[in-house]
Structure 1
Amino acid sequence: MVLWGICSLGQAFTHSASGLIACRFFLGAFETGVGPSTPLFLSFWYQRNELVTRVAIYFGASTVAGTFAGAVAYGVLKDLDGVHAIPTIALGLLSFIVLPDMPESAGRWLTEEERRLAIQRTKSSGNTDRNPFDKKQFLAAVVDYKVWLAVIIYIGLNVALASFSIFLPTIIRDMGFSSLKAQLLSIPPYVVACLLVFIVSWNSDRTLQRGYHIIAVCSLGVLGYIFLLASLNVSLRYTGAILVACSIYPIIPLTLSWVFNNQLGHTNRAVAIGMVSMIAQCFSMLGTQIYKTEDSPRYVKGHVVCLVFLILAAISAGLLRFLLSRENKKRDQEHGEPETMDMSELNIEGIYDKHPQFRYAL
């Protein structure tokens, strides 16, 4: 965060296109690790049935910030060059002091009893690995079908997310509104989506069901794009935009938490989430190129592409859930149903999620 804040600050002092491009390049390079690493950090502190809600708080907060960032930047900070970077740098420095890495090293902020409880809680969810890097885990993650199906789900999300976040004001403007009113009307979809992120994530944690929730919210997005495609009625198309927002944002915490729930071992988990984020983010470039000026006001091509990718995400989620459910049933038949999901006493070293007493989150 400190390095990306410095790059952001550097933009205030550049006087050429090449300098700005260099700042933006390094800004992206330093910023890219924060998205996947924050949920990874949370996975070391929270149990399987708590994780989606915590990840949702993180991404939900960024959704709210994105809603009002433009207005704040223009209305409050328009004459304060470089100030945008200062909170990022300050928060990055503060995190070195107040943010513990793992429960084992949280002695400064937790009592000994609280620290032991935190360690026990995460051990019960399979966080017993103490290897800083394991080559076997690395290779296992690279060839794991669970990871690749999660990649496809996240690709479907990123195509729709990239296009929606960039082109929503334009889509609303071409419904017949002024540019200023289009900016204002782009706020409600984010607000409704933020609320749904928390509701869906809470219910997903309550039931420990990920796949069904992803399929459900993908279906909302498909319906939203159908509304945008099928009619010139402004109210129906605006409703479609809200449904799309309600679809794409809940997929983020659901997918990332599903990966964490089913990948045991620190290296395995880190590689898996890195693959999902890195590969899927490459497809964000597609999302930025599918809405063309000549396609206005219907934007049929862009809507159809996003619709197809959301359907692909839903199919992948359904397939992943089916395969995981089949594996759980196979283990139940061969080893019996586990009496508890507490994994703190299990020796998972070397086998991790292949342990006969481990059951995948569905």
Structure 2
Amino acid sequence: LPESESLDKASYFTEVPTMVAPPSQDRQFFTACTSMIKFSQKNKFFQTRNSNSPFKQKPKKKPIATYSDPQLTSKVKLDPASCYMCFLVRKKDMREIIPDLEFVKYKEVCYNMIYKLSSCHEAHFALARLLAHEGKFELALQHLRIALQDDSGDHMYKVWYATIMVLCMDTLETAKEAFITCQKLLQEGHLMIEVFWCLMEISLRNFLTDKKGIENPRAYATSIMQIDRYYGYLAWSYLFLATGEKLKAERILIELVSKVPDQIEAYLKLWNFYYSENNYEKALSVIQHAFLKVSTNTPQLNSLINLYYTKTLFRIGNYLPCFELLQLYYMKHPEYTAYLYYMKH
């Protein structure tokens, strides 16, 4: 991965981009949220200018070198319903992707279909996905096994099965089963990002160090890079984080949000990195850019962006805009009752 001085990280995360809401969006709602972002940035600027600190300002650090790839684009648009989201989003946040009312409704439909029909692999598969979003991985695996027994030819069932096996992988047996499932998918010609990511996770856990066929996790990250450069860099940033090389991971993620600003995945990863490091100011800048740049392109993930935004505002003590935005979000999308939960807590 070549290094260059192509991006000034400090300047990137202090500038708020402008964006015009598309006709399909509620302009009043979008304008209110955008104005609130810019107003908070303006207040921060004046507070900095008017502060009479007796201490000298620290000298500015040199921009950190980033990984620059002039050919960095993304040809793959993963469905937000893909099992890849299990690797992208924190487990406890998976539940927020699906509207609460729809979640209850579809779950009831699945149970009714399973009760009325002796074998309905579609209902078992749909229910397994819902349970995975709830974090009930063991129960999801049970329904996936039933779905595979009824229809073992659907490769998406196998991909989800391998993914959930990896998520709850805690023994050598589960690691072997997940590895064998992924190997079969590759042999069948399903060279998918999700499959290679599962193999990368298995390799990182060191459960199968002596098993023939398992490769170094870097090999799987390279395979993802060959499918799509954007997701390949995401894989490398994940590897660097897993091995403790946080600075390298941060540089890659910053480059991704700079070069491919209309893809949400790097924003979510970078926000999670800063948020977990208690660097809430940078986390706020990242999620503000995500709201302005990609929220209109990913309606299914809007709730996640909104909740991350309000969480960060709360962490830095901006309580009034936090609760105002939660109220705006709920008025706009009442099907997400999670907004009410966060307003209360």
More helix by share: 1
* TM-score where L is the length of structure 2: 0.21
* TM-score where L is the length of structure 1: 0.21
